[in-house]
């Protein structure tokens, strides 16, 4: 009988353990509106797109991270779009275009079942897995209701199924973000420095990739953010 770890094409090519990473990215119209930053990018949407390319390059440069990290992007504005999970060596960052409102709740309700299904696939195929990371980046308040989304996050965090981070771009009040995951405060991105954020995330994933799947790996200080 064929090894169950090789029944799925992506695992036939690469049977390394996986760390699922979900990026929930706001590209609503307000991501066009803020002024110049210290990073040289004039608009948040431009800095976000550039930051994702830095993220991809950093992971690709690490021989373990590029095989063990799987990335999915769930982008949201007036509608929600999700890319399938791919390993970092196949990840091509989407170019996000700003416009529309902020369907944050719908994005979370899309992302969480995708994450659970991916973890179930790892288990079914006999692939080891690290604790997934989900990072939400937004510059405003949700245009839809967040009660169901918050319940999904809190349930998954409580069972140890995900490490959830939320990041605010700009000066919008963070009370709404804080309610999504009371166990971890949201951080405000300093100076629109998406590059530093994504370098931190990639370095954290490199550390995770070099550990055992059951190890607890402390993440470095998030110098890109402030409470």
Question: Could you report the per-residue pLDDT of 164-200, keeping only the tens digit for each?
Answer: 999 999 999 999 999 999 999 999 999 999 999 999 9
Domain locations along the chain: 22-211
Q: How many CA atoms lie within 13 A of 150 on its CB side?
A: 15
Helix (H, G, I), strand (E, B) or coil at 167: strand
> Whose structure tokens read 């990215």?
25
From the candidate CATH numbers 1.10.287.3510, 3.40.640.10, 3.40.50.410, 3.10.20.30, the one assigned to the domain spanning 22-211: 3.40.50.410
Question: Could you report the per-residue pLDDT of 85-127, keeping only the tens digit for each?
Answer: 999 999 999 999 999 999 999 999 999 999 999 999 999 999 9
Report whether pLDDT(35) > 60. no
CB atoms within 10 A of CB 191: 11
* pTM recorded for the entire structure: 0.93
Give the whole-angstrom CA distance, residue 112 versus residue 109. Answer: 6
Give the whole-angstrom CA distance, residue 133 versus residue 114. Answer: 13
Helix (H, G, I), strand (E, B) or coil at 21: strand
* Summary mean pLDDT of the chain: 92
């Amino acid at each position: 009988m064929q090894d169950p770890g090789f029944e799925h094409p992506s695992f036939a090519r690469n049977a390394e353990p996986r760390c699922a990473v979900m990026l929930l990215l706001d590209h609503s119209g307000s991501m066009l509106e803020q002024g110049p930053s210290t990073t040289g990018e004039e608009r948040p949407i431009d800095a976000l797109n550039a930051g994702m390319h830095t993220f991809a390059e950093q992971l690709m440069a690490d021989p373990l991270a590029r095989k063990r990290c799987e990335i999915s992007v769930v982008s949201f504005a007036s509608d929600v779009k999700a890319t399938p999970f791919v390993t970092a060596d196949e990840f091509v960052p989407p170019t996000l275009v700003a416009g529309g409102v902020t369907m944050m709740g719908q994005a979370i309700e899309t992302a969480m079942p995708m994450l659970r299904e991916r973890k179930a696939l790892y288990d079914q195929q006999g692939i080891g897995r690290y604790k997934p990371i989900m990072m939400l980046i937004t510059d405003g308040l949700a245009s839809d209701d967040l009660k169901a989304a918050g319940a999904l996050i809190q349930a998954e965090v409580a069972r140890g199924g995900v490490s959830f981070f939320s990041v605010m771009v700009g000066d919008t009040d963070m009370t709404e973000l804080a309610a999504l995951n009371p166990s971890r405060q949201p951080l405000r991105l300093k100076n629109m420095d998406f590059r530093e954020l994504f370098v931190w995330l990639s370095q954290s994933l490199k550390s995770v990739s070099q550990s055992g799947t059951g190890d607890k790996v402390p993440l470095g200080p998030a110098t890109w953010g402030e409470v």
